[in-house]
Structures are given as C-alpha cells and as structure tokens.
Amino acid sequence: MNGLSATAFYLEEQHIMATATKTKAAGPANKALRVITRRDGFRRAGIEFSGTKIIPLNELTAEQAEAIKAETTMFVVDEIDTPT
C-alpha cells in the first residue's frame, strides 16, 4: 500500500474516486490501458480488476491512470490503440 496505513489508503482511494468527475481525462478515447492482474478481485483507483482488462483513457482521470501504472500487484502491459 505504498507505506500508507489501511485507513489512509482507503481515504486516498475515495479522494481519487470523488475527484474523477472533476478532473480532465487521462487521454483520448482511441487510447487505452491494457492491464493484467496477478490476483482477481484486486482494486485500484476505484476499479476492480480480474484477468485482463482494457480501460479507455478517456474513462480515467490522470490520477487514476498513474495509480494503476504505479501498482506492483498488477502489470500494465501497455497503452494501446482502440478502434474508433
């Protein structure tokens, strides 16, 4: 949990989720993160992950995208182009 207590970690997650609608999107609709998690049911940035998940960057805030990319429990394989 990046050195945070469970309570502080929870509050940080809630802050990210609460500001999601107020913050500019992490990228355009034709770009996405392909995320592979090592543990099903893992949550980060207000999103639950299982297996492989494709998330369009325009559905994430910059803070959410960075939290996902920084997580060591999952792999962010790459940023990919999506069909338009």
How does DSSP assign 10-31, residue by residue?
A: HHHHHHHHHHTTTS-BSS-TTE
- In angstroms, rounded to a whole number, what is the distance separating the alpha carbons of residues 66 and 52? 18
Tell me the per-residue pLDDT of 22-63, one tens digit each, with 9 for 90 and over.
568 888 889 999 998 888 888 899 999 999 999 999 999 999
Q: What is the pTM for the complete model shown? A: 0.64
- In angstroms, rounded to a whole number, what is the distance separating the alpha carbons of residues 9 and 70? 14
